[in-house]
Amino acid sequence: MRPAFQSVRRLHSAYLRQERDISFSVVRRTKPIPLANQVQQASAFKISPRDIFERNQESYLFSRTLYTPSARDNTQVSTDSTTDFSKGGPLVEFERRIAAGELVDGDNSQVGTIRELQRLYDELVESANACRLDKYEASEKAGRSRWFWSRFVPQSSYSPVKGLYLYGGVGTGKTMLMDLFFDQLPSNWRKKRIHFHDFMLNVHSRLQRQKGVADPLEDVAAEISDESILLCLDEFMVTDVADALILNRLFGHLFSNGVILVSTSNRAPDNLYEGGLQRDLFLPFIASLKERCVVHEIGSSVDYRKLTSAGQGFYFIGENSSDLLKRKFQMLIGEHKAYPQEVEVVMGRKLQVPLGANGCAYFSFEDLCDKPLGAADYFGLFKKFHTLALEGVPIFGLHNRTTAYRFVTLVDVMYENKGRLLCTAAGTPSQLFERVVTISNARNMSPRTSSRSRRNDDIELCVDNELGFAKDRIISRLTEMNSTEYLEQHASMWAEKHSSEKNTKEDDALVA
């Protein structure tokens, strides 16, 4: 039985090599391979003439998609390009937006990052067929073939293109650059852009539906990779032990299925989940991440979010600002009457909203951050509401570290959903987190010596690596969300959405 198994495996490997050679010929050869030669080459591998015809047909379709008008509209030919695939991409769009005044001219670190994204873009376009990116070209016959071979031999199809892991300080433009890259990708590709919080919620939701399966993570990875070969995750950070324990096996399956990861993070790969419970079980994921992704640091020290006109929004400081917050909330809901509402979140849970009307929700800080709520609840909230009035944000320290984690998640989710924040707080964004420090910062602040006692230390100092790294991001985001530019963009976006929904309802009424 073993010799037979080895023979089958060798035959399958040879078949895959032949398939890759024929696929790559679309990019590398200037002349098509004569059909007779293809038949002769394929006979040794039992490939039928129909298979060859289908593959040639697929090659024709692949070539045609590269030269559609939509792919030419916003592109230019680079003078030093070696192929036709570098006509467009994120670098061209980046330069166009700067010339049009839509973006400020980036520093050297931003320019270096956009060039890395352009390099990845060119590699993806050149290897689109080998990476199986085109969702319309995956034939049913190829799917049946993969299913047949998976019954006999282990399936491993690592992508010929490595992904990209971008990390750096807050406000350096990581999310903007990744979104710019994502928006330039062809619409017919199997791609997805999602916040890491939302991605992990989706994974856990899928796992709930896989009860009784031998390896649920393998099935979940199969579902994800079937939908998206190119996966763009924003704000990659691991703070939850449950997420940490499944990431290695989940991404092991995803990478094996050919998934290409593009991710942004504030942390270098080696610093992910630093100091977390059972981190030794997480370390293999870091090794896998560095193997399957090019790691690139954005070394900029500029926080572009703080270049906005901060201080023009609805961030009120002081204990006596509660009445002001309520008046502003009433102004935003207009003639609508606020009343208690209920929001559905994942896995059947529901979130109680104390007051809500006209897309605006009103919460006390205790109701939203001092209860066992998480990212799923906050995502559910901002699917129904676009504005949050939050009363009583405190100074964070050791005594309310858990609520600080929830507030960090809330701001991240709100920022991801382009939400608007009205709040009363005990201090400025920086003051809220001034007692939260990393371990290294704490050592520099008050180094231990034999003559010092614990009694002399600041009992309110919260030494926490994850919060210590997250606080700069949250301060930066709160500053931007309080700016005139952000609020004007928010108002414009929701006015456009409201107008679109109104027109849709009018059209439906006419049809009825």
- The single-letter DSSP state of residue 304 is G
Choice among 76-90, 230-244, 385-399 with the minimum mean pLDDT: 76-90
Of the candidates 135, 130, 254, 140, the one whose C-alpha atom is nearest the C-alpha of residue 190 is: 135
pLDDT digit string (tens) for 11-40?
444 444 444 443 333 333 334 444 444 444
Per-residue model confidence (pLDDT) at position 291: 95
The structure's pTM equals 0.60
What confidence category does residue 270 fall into, taking pLDDT thresholds of 50, 70 and 90? very high
pLDDT digit string (tens) for 323-378?
889 999 999 999 999 999 999 887 778 999 999 999 999 999 999 999 999 999 99
Per-residue model confidence (pLDDT) at position 101: 80
Q: How far is CA 496 from the centre of its chain?
A: 25
What confidence category does residue 85 fall into, taking pLDDT thresholds of 50, 70 and 90? very low
Backbone φ and ψ for 277, nearest 5 degrees, come out as -65, 135
pLDDT digit string (tens) for 160-203?
999 999 998 877 788 889 999 999 999 999 999 999 988 998 99
Given a cut of 90, whether residue 409 has pLDDT beyond it is: yes
pLDDT digit string (tens) for 49-71?
445 444 444 333 333 233 233 33
Q: How far apart are CA 137 and CA 185, in angstroms?
A: 16
What confidence category does residue 392 fall into, taking pLDDT thresholds of 50, 70 and 90? very high
* 510: its two tokens: 């006419």
Asked whether 207 and 216 are in contact (CB, 8 A), the reply is yes
% of the chain at pLDDT higher than 90: 42
Per-residue model confidence (pLDDT) at position 139: 44
Per-residue model confidence (pLDDT) at position 290: 96
Higher local confidence (pLDDT), 188 or 4: 188
What confidence category does residue 498 fall into, taking pLDDT thresholds of 50, 70 and 90? low
Of the candidates 227, 223, 279, the one whose C-alpha atom is nearest the C-alpha of residue 248 is: 279
Count Cβ neighbours within 10 Å for each residue of 355-385 and write b for 16 or more, e otherwise. Answer: bbbebbbbbebebbbbeebbbbbbbbbbeeb
Of the candidates 161, 119, 134, 129, the one whose C-alpha atom is nearest the C-alpha of residue 25 is: 129
* 93: its two tokens: 């769009």
Q: Kindly tell me the burial class for residue 307, based on how many C-beta atoms sit within 10 Å of its own C-beta (0-12, 13-18, 19 or more).
A: middle
510 to 442, 506, 507: CA distances (angstroms): 66, 6, 5
Per-residue model confidence (pLDDT) at position 44: 47
pLDDT digit string (tens) for 436-479?
998 888 877 755 443 433 444 456 789 888 898 889 889 988 98
How would DSSP label each residue in 333-383?
HTTPPPEEEEEE-GGG-EEEEEEEETTEEEEEHHHHHSSS--HHHHHHHHH
Per-residue model confidence (pLDDT) at position 308: 53
Q: Which residues pair with 231 in a beta bridge?
A: 192, 261
Asked whether 321 and 424 are in contact (CB, 8 A), the reply is yes
- What is the number of other CB atoms lying within 10 angstroms of the CB of residue 493? 13
What confidence category does residue 283 fall into, taking pLDDT thresholds of 50, 70 and 90? very high
Higher local confidence (pLDDT), 455 or 104: 104
Q: How far apart are CA 491 and CA 484, in angstroms?
A: 10
Asked whether 361 and 389 are in contact (CB, 8 A), the reply is yes
Q: Return all residues near 455 (Cβ < 8 A) that are at least 6 apart.
A: none
Given a cut of 90, whether residue 390 has pLDDT beyond it is: yes
Mean pLDDT to the nearest integer, 229-255: 92
Per-residue model confidence (pLDDT) at position 58: 38
Per-residue model confidence (pLDDT) at position 29: 38
Asked whether 292 and 263 are in contact (CB, 8 A), the reply is no
Higher local confidence (pLDDT), 289 or 346: 289
Asked whether 357 and 451 are in contact (CB, 8 A), the reply is no
Given a cut of 60, whether residue 306 has pLDDT beyond it is: no
* 151: its two tokens: 């019954």
Stated as kind and residue range, the H or E segment containing 260 is strand 260-265
Q: How far apart are CA 410 and CA 275, in angstroms?
A: 23
Q: How far apart are CA 431 and CA 440, in angstroms?
A: 20
Mean pLDDT to the nearest integer, 206-227: 90
- What is the number of other CB atoms lying within 10 angstroms of the CB of residue 189? 20
SS3 294: strand
Choice among 142-156, 325-339, 419-433 with the minimum mean pLDDT: 142-156
Given a cut of 70, whether residue 434 has pLDDT beyond it is: yes
What confidence category does residue 4 fall into, taking pLDDT thresholds of 50, 70 and 90? low
